Chains A and B, each alone.
Chain A
Amino acid sequence: MVPSQKYQRNGLVQMSLSSFFENPERLNRWMDIAQSSFLPLLKGALLYSLTIAIASFFIGLIIAVLTALARLSGIKPLIAIARVYVSIIRGTPLLVQLFIIFYGLPSIGLMIDPIPSAIIGFSLSVGAYSSEVVRAAILSIHKGQWEAAYSVGMTYWQALRRVVLPQAARVSIPPLSNSFISLVKDTSLASVVLVPEMFRKAQEVVAATYEPLLVYVEAALIYWMICFVLSIIQDRIENKLDRYV
């Protein structure tokens, strides 16, 4: 049994699952902790986790579009820069990137606060991963659409903004929604750079109550709840965009 092993390892009183449920005091204590910690956790989730995710996602998308356009530009130096960027970000762990930004850069005098550090790290990550999605989406738009836009006298940027990107956006919404949902969960990594988001809040509650199972499961449920709502929103958007296809 996992709980008893855990207690053995901690050198505490052995306790089986059945005796746990027969102990009304312990149950009451759990109910109390769950109740008192729910709002702080939710606040951490909405105020920090979700806000950081949304900010990073939009900055990341701009980086992704620019990176995709650089890759498609046919201009060799731009292609090279875009490739190196994507390769570095995809080839190194996000956790390590966050450590470099928050703990590493101060050694060369670049001090960045926790929240901006997290947003920089996540934006760069979204930018690199999503640039491939955006690039594929732009390539999936038929050449005739560019030609039709050019034939009415549009410039490259006009054709891109008015004709190609709106259609590419539709193609890329399912994969980009998935990246956003992953990003919401990845914000838990911001706890290591001292952002007071939900997971860090959960760690604080655990430190005060010594109830890791309860509190971490509670945190997991809140992540799940948020992602569940997000996936419903994703379905709605996809249905709405399907109308002209």
Chain B
Amino acid sequence: MITITDVHKQFNTLHVLKGISLSVEKGKVVVIIGPSGSGKTTLLRCLNALEIPTSGSVQIGDVKLDFSKKVERTSIPKLRKQTGMVFQNYNLFPHMTAVENVMEGPVTVKKVDKEKARAKAAALLSKVGLGDKLDHYPAQLSGGQQQRVGIARALAMDPQVMLFDEPTSALDPELVGEVLKVMKELAQEGMTMIVVTHEMGFAREVADEVIFMDQGFIVERDTPSNLFAQPREERTRQFLQHLK
């Protein structure tokens, strides 16, 4: 489903990703953990070309981009259509209501008929528990509700993979649960997910695999039970101790 091969990312002199290779099968949930500056968010953003890797290739479904060569501009939206992204700060469109946020992608990008798109958007919002907030503007919603609209907006494009960039980090503690619940349901439905998070409980419970990153490398990848209970690498052990 997803294959990343030897991805490097450099910002001027700063080498953020130092050759990441990774493959994820369909229906798997992969959680990426690591200290800040480890490159985990950059890796996620390379998957939908919000960051353009300096070299290496990214393949999602049947769209493959090799960044070592010159990438055609038109192929980047193709890659992005395979992925749905959920942002730390939600990034909802503030001038549109909840339902308009969700139908915007299908209507503008896929040219779906407006009424059809609205019906689908309403169904997705009901699914994330916001069936009664369709006509609310983002400013009228709590952080947890906004993030659930963000998830619905990403799902509306029927992505092959859902990418979550610290989806609960900006939320008040009592609102984290409602977002994690929606993410768990998605995982149970068989959605392929890559999640950057600090929620170790979620990783333990939902992830098929946990990846620990540090200083631009994948240090260790394993099932959550193995990685949390008996990490093989010293660096992983140190990081996990800090969390406790």
A-side residues, CB < 8 A to B, are 142, 144-145, 147-155, 158, 162-163, 166-167, 170, 243-245
Contact = CB atoms under 8 A, between A and B. Distances in A.
Interface residues of B, number: 27
Contact of B105 (A145, A152, A244): A152
Given A147-B91, A167-B95, A245-B94, 15 more contacts: A145-B91, A147-B50, A148-B87, A149-B93, A150-B80, A151-B84, A152-B108, A152-B157, A153-B110, A154-B105, A163-B104, A167-B93, A167-B94, A243-B137, A244-B95
B81 interface: yes
Nearest to A145: B91
User: What is the predominant secondary structure among interface residues of chain A facing chain B?
Assistant: helix
B148 to A, nearest CB: 15
A243 B140 CA distance: 10
A243 B81 CA distance: 32
A155 B109 CA distance: 8
Contacts of A142: 91
B170 to A, nearest CB: 11
Interface of B: 48, 50, 77, 80-81, 83-85, 87, 89, 91-95, 104-105, 108-110, 137-139, 153-154, 156-157
A50 B154 CA distance: 46
A244 B50 contact: no
Contacts of A148: 85, 87, 91-93, 153
A151 B83 contact: yes
Given A162-B104, A243-B137, A245-B139, A153 B91 contact: no
B81 A153 contact: yes
Contact of B153 (A152, A154, A244): A152
20 contacts: A145-B93, A147-B85, A148-B93, A148-B153, A149-B93, A150-B50, A150-B77, A150-B80, A151-B50, A151-B80, A152-B80, A152-B105, A152-B109, A153-B81, A153-B105, A153-B109, A153-B110, A158-B109, A166-B95, A167-B93
